[in-house]
Amino acid sequence: MVRIFGMYLNNNAWYLFLHSNDTTILKKALSWSKRALDSDPYWSTGIDTYANLLYKLGNVTDAITWEEIAVKLDQSDEIFNSTLKKMKGGEPTWRVPEESETQKK
pLDDT tens across 56-83, in order?
Answer: 999 999 999 999 999 999 988 999 999 9
In a domain, 82, yes or no: yes
**Confidence at residue 95, expressed as pLDDT on a 0 to 100 scale:** 85
Give the structural domain span for 71: 2-92
pLDDT in tens, 29-42: 999 999 999 988 99
Average pLDDT (10-20) is 96
CATH of the domain at 63: 1.25.40.10
Closest by Cα among 49, 93, 47 to 69: 47
In a domain, 98, yes or no: no
In a domain, 10, yes or no: yes
- pTM summary value: 0.89
In a domain, 103, yes or no: no
**CA separation for the pair 12, 9 (Å, rounded):** 5
In a domain, 73, yes or no: yes
